[in-house]
Amino acid sequence: MNIPKSLPIESLLRVVRRFVLAAVILPTFTAVPALLADTAPSFTSANSVIFPQGIRDTFTVTTTGIPVPKITLSGHLPPGLKFVDNGDGTATLSGRPGNGLGQVGNYNLTFTASNGVAPNATQNFTLTVTRPPLITSVNNATFIVGTANTFNVTTRNTQPKTTLSFTGTLPGGVTFVPSNNGTATLSGTPAPGSQGIYSLTITGTNGFPPDAVQVFTLTVQSAAPVTHAPTITSAPSTTFTVGTEGIFTIHTTGTPTSSIALSGTLPAWLTFVDNTDGTATLDGIPDPGGAASYSLTITATNGIAPDAMQTFTLFVNNPPPAITSADNTTFVVGTFASFTVRTSPPDPSATVSFNGTLPLGINFTPNSDGTATIDGTASVGSESSYPINIKASNGTLPDAMQTFTIT
């Protein structure tokens, strides 16, 4: 650096300062993330799960891999459960196994994960359905001082049989005696002066968790209560949708509390539970291809005549269609190309149609599997954007509509 000798000291200092700053400024580098290499899929979740009957549960299947793997299932699921690929490298097993004793056991499944990178990953998976205990008798009883009475605690049929026990304080003169057949007896003659409310906790165990636990109220009165025959107060019908969990609660009134039973031809996916408090629950995920309705009979009893009976209809609707493919595609003049319009659910499959104007040389063909094909070779001079309206219908409203653009 050449500096004139006659330069004033203030100017000299400014020049030196600029020179020093310029000398120490470092070049700037921008970090560019490295592209992650594609990797074959693999499973990272457990290869087994236990679902207890009558209890809604969920299990998440997880994978790794780049791109994100697609997960499919082969094998037979028990009624009441469904499998969904979440589209993010995970999938979900969920639902409430049906109550049939014959549905208890192991279900051998196979998961496959694929992402276009060989090899695909497979996992042998065991789903075990167990039958834990369930207390089926109502959760309360009323005894009268000086009068002998008996109340039977009951449980559903399981193997092994349920063993019942209780905690809490009983009134004088009353005992709780379990049997070896899944029942127990609350009986005796309440002693004078034992009027009151006694809160008990009844527990049922059979080696398959969770244990059944019922908070039970024993009321001891000095005089007999006013009784009322049961009535069913809930609606006589409900509608479930294929592939979606439906829940309906049956309500009754009456004194003492009613026990509720359901009769008729029940689909395997449907669970019925008497909640022992004067209500009951219908729950399930309808399978595709089943009946459109089921005629059932609900009966409520509490020892006071007459019993209440209700003819009940469970309707099952197919889910409305949805268009799941992208809402646009691009064709190049003079080059053959194809695009597939996709819909859900697969059963019943939707009929796909459109209205609008297609580019010259391009065709729209509905298929019989819930898809449609847009393909062809765009003609010279057809360069432009072509908006069309695509509709999917499967007999359940509303139809699915999509504004689709061909460029």
Q: Look at residues 135, 215, 150 and name the one whose alpha carbon lies nearest to residue 186.
A: 150
The 10s digit of each residue's pLDDT in 280-289 is 999 999 988 8
**Measured between alpha carbons, how far is 174 from 200 in angstroms, rounded to an integer?**
13
Q: Using 50, 70 and 90 to split pLDDT, how confident is the model at 30?
A: very low
Give, in degrees to the nearest 5, the angle at Cα 185 between 181 and 186: 160
| 328 and 313 together in one domain | no
Domain that holds residue 307: 228-317
Decide if pLDDT at 29 tops 50. no
| 298 and 354 together in one domain | no
| 238 and 282 together in one domain | yes
Residue 213: partners with Cβ closer than 8 Å, 6 or more residues away: 201, 202, 203, 204
| 304 and 361 together in one domain | no
| 214 and 159 together in one domain | yes
Residue 33, domain member (yes or no): no
Decide if pLDDT at 19 tops 50. yes
DSSP state at residue 384: S
DSSP state at residue 289: T
| 214 and 239 together in one domain | no
Residue 20 has a pLDDT of 47
Residue 374, domain member (yes or no): yes
Q: Using 50, 70 and 90 to split pLDDT, how confident is the model at 32?
A: very low
286: domain CATH number is 2.60.40.10
Residue 30, domain member (yes or no): no
Decide if pLDDT at 153 tops 90. yes
Residue 6, domain member (yes or no): no
Residue 31 has a pLDDT of 46
The 10s digit of each residue's pLDDT in 306-342 is 999 999 999 999 888 999 899 999 999 999 999 999 9
DSSP state at residue 116: S
Q: Using 50, 70 and 90 to split pLDDT, how confident is the model at 303?
A: very high
Residue 362, domain member (yes or no): yes
| 243 and 313 together in one domain | yes
Q: Using 50, 70 and 90 to split pLDDT, how confident is the model at 397?
A: confident
| 256 and 279 together in one domain | yes
| 281 SS3 class | strand
Number of domains in the chain: 4
As a whole number, the mean pLDDT across the chain is 91
Residue 115 has a pLDDT of 95
Residue 19, domain member (yes or no): no
| 156 and 191 together in one domain | yes
| 167 and 248 together in one domain | no
Residue 31, domain member (yes or no): no
- Picking from 221, 248, 278, the residue at the C-terminal end of a domain is 221
- Picking from 221, 239, 257, the residue at the C-terminal end of a domain is 221
Q: Using 50, 70 and 90 to split pLDDT, how confident is the model at 202?
A: very high
Pair 381, 336: CB distance under 8 Å: no
| 259 and 294 together in one domain | yes
Residue 26, domain member (yes or no): no
| 346 and 282 together in one domain | no
Read off the pLDDT of each residue in 246-259 and give the average, rounded to a whole number: 96
As a whole-number percent, the residues of the chain with pLDDT over 70 amount to 91
- Picking from 104, 130, 156, the residue at the C-terminal end of a domain is 130
The 10s digit of each residue's pLDDT in 62-102 is 999 999 999 999 999 998 899 999 989 999 999 989 887 88
